[in-house]
């Protein structure tokens, strides 16, 4: 690999220029801004590695599908996206969002971290490998969508209707970060799912004077009682069947979870708390954070909530509940269990609105591809990686891979201060170059 790494170093300016070119092109899917130009630019990059390119049409922005078929045994797919978040609040940017500026070794631009830096790193890695060795040791596929920042509305359609294009032995997924202080690369094996629901409890058809509370039902109290049946004071979720579907952690997953850096004292001081939930500490704390489902009140409201007092009997009470799901829970099942639970406890009248739901997604840590990635990382980075069973955010991976056993691993070129979705998005030039190298290593090691 030394030759490929050397080639990458020698051509780092060219690879940086490709990224700058990509970042200078706006591509805001939510605002239909520059999307056609960006699509053409992505195709031009893919043509540099001689990929066969196809546009998968959707109602809005096509998925750019690329293939390099060398007739090899193994196929690896890169999933990335060419759309970016809007750039507002524009006034908080120190340089123009769509005109790259390099300051203190960092590249500043909207989308450089999420996700153009990764998209280009994949292409550059292939390019470098090809320049040094000519032929690749594996087949490659590229799935570059243009709608990730608007919820990937056509990824499921793609998976369902083009199964041959999704035929692959493994996937490198989107992006990832590196620790700022410890410089350890985060390797993502999955995400928790989410079921975000709103419960609505109604009383009289209008707010009333609170003196009427002696004889007229208060929906706020009913909601309190209903919520109290969901989770007890000891933080146990009481919904019948809620834990039944959960897959147990394998020994490897437990081991990977412990690779996480978590400074308890630092976090406690940062948030001004005396202890963690249920006084959990140490290995168990990491396990809970990573692998426990949650039932969280994200918002509750009823009646008068302004300053001072108003003597009102509310007519409606609402709560927003966020369930973080772990394999193999599903948003649909959780909603069903919640409905059954409320009915059983006499709260048939409390309505449930599903705000959104995302399935959890996890790669089997026993899959050999995980070791391929970990080995490749050790060739490029000095620091030992952190292996994350679940990232904090959400991901469209489930939509694409739900009926497959395809392992998908996330590694990327950003860092924990890259300002995803925020002003002054940035990555380190060095991380970009190392991202190219690690991708090249994966190509080499995955046979």
- Please state the closest distance from residue 250 (CB atom) to its own copies, in A: 19
Binding pattern to its own copies, positions 108-147, x when CB under 8 A?
----------------------------------------
* CA atoms 211, 214, 217, 223: torsion sign: positive
Question: What 8-state DSSP symbol labels residue 123?
Answer: H
**x-or-dash string of contact with its own copies, 265-284, rule CB under 8 A:** ------xxx--xx--x----
How far CA 321 is from CA of 185, 193, 337, 341, in Å, comes to 33, 14, 14, 15
Q: Is 99 an interacting residue with respect to its own copies (CB under 8 A)?
A: no
| Closest of 235, 215, 324, 344 to residue 279, by C-alpha | 235
Structure-token match 């759309």, residue found = 83
Burial class (CB in 10 A: 0-12, 13-18, 19+), 211: exposed
Which one among 14, 32, 355, 403 touches its own copies, defined by CB under 8 A?
Answer: 355
Using the rule CB under 8 A, is 303 a contact of its own copies? Answer: yes
Q: Site size for its own copies, by CB under 8 A? A: 68
Stretch that binds its own copies, among 5-13, 52-60, 188-196, 418-426 (CB under 8 A): 188-196
* 231, 254, 333, 339: which one binds its own copies (CB under 8 A): 231
Identify the residue among 24, 95, 131, 210 touching its own copies (CB under 8 A): 210
Q: Which residues, 6+ apart, have CB-to-CB distance to 14 below 8 Å?
A: none
**220 binds its own copies per the rule CB under 8 A:** yes
The burial of 244, by beta-carbon neighbours within 10 Å (0-12 exposed, 13-18 middle, 19 or more buried), is given as exposed
Residue environment code for 165-195, b if the CB has 16+ CB neighbours within 10 A, otherwise e: bbebbbbbbbbbbbbeeeebbbbbbbbbbbb
Instruction: Give the span between the Cα atoms of 322 and 198, in whole angstroms.
Output: 9
The one among 71, 266, 308, 382 contacting its own copies by CB under 8 A? 308
Does the N-terminal peptide bond of residue 399 adopt cis geometry, omega within 30 degrees of 0?
Answer: no
Residue 216 is a binding residue for its own copies (CB under 8 A): yes
From 18-26, 110-118, 319-327, 375-383, give the range in contact with its own copies by CB under 8 A.
319-327
Tell whether residue 91 is a contact of its own copies (CB under 8 A). Answer: no
Is there binding between residue 258 and its own copies (CB under 8 A)?
no
- Footprint of its own copies (CB under 8 A): 192, 194, 196, 198, 203-206, 208-218, 220-221, 224-225, 227-228, 231-233, 235, 271-273, 276-277, 280, 285, 288-289, 292, 294, 296-306, 308-314, 317-318, 320, 322, 324, 346, 355-356, 392-393
């Amino acid at each position: 690999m030394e030759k490929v790494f050397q080639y990458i170093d020698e051509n780092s300016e060219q690879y940086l220029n490709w990224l700058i070119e990509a970042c200078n092109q706006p591509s805001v899917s939510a605002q239909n801004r520059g999307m056609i130009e960006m699509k053409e630019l992505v195709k031009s990059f893919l043509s540099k590695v001689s990929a066969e390119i196809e546009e998968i049409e959707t109602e809005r922005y096509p998925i750019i599908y690329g293939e390099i078929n060398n007739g090899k045994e193994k196929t690896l797919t890169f999933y990335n996206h060419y759309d970016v978040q809007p750039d507002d609040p524009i006034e908080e940017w120190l340089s123009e969002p769509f005109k790259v500026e390099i300051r203190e070794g960092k590249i500043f631009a909207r989308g450089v971290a999420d996700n153009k830096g990764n998209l280009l790193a994949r292409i550059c890695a292939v390019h470098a490998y090809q320049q040094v060795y000519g032929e690749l040791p594996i087949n490659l596929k590229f799935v570059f969508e243009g709608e990730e920042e608007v919820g990937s509305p056509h990824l499921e359609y793609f998976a369902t209707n083009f199964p041959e294009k999704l035929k692959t032995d493994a996937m490198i997924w989107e992006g990832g970060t590196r620790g700022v202080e410890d410089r350890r690369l985060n390797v993502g094996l999955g995400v928790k799912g989410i079921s975000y629901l709103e419960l609505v409890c109604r009383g009289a058809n209008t707010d009333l004077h609170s003196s009427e509370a002696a004889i007229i039902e208060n929906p706020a109290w009913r909601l309190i009682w209903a919520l109290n049946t969901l989770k007890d004071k000891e933080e146990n979720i009481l919904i019948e069947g809620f834990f039944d579907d959960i897959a147990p952690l394998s020994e490897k997953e437990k081991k990977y979870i412990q690779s996480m850096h978590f400074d308890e004292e630092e976090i406690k001081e940062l948030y001004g708390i005396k202890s963690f939930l249920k006084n959990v500490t140490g290995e168990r704390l990491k396990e809970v954070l990573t692998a426990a489902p949650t039932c969280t009140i994200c918002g509750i409201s009823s009646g008068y909530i302004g300053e001072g007092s108003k003597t009102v009997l509310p007519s409606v009470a609402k709560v927003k509940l966020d369930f973080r799901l772990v394999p193999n829970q599903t948003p649909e099942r959780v909603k069903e269990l919640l409905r059954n639970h409320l009915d059983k406890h006499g709260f048939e009248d409390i309505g449930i609105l599903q705000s959104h739901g995302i399935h959890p997604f996890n790669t089997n840590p026993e899959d050999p591809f995980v070791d391929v990635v970990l080995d490749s990382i050790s060739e490029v980075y000095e620091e030992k990686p952190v292996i994350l069973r679940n990232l904090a955010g959400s991901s469209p991976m489930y939509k694409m891979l739900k009926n497959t056993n395809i392992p998908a691993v996330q590694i990327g070129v950003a860092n924990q201060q890259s300002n995803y979705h925020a002003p002054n998005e940035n990555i380190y030039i060095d991380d970009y170059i190392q991202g190219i190298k690690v991708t090249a290593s994966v190509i080499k090691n995955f046979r």
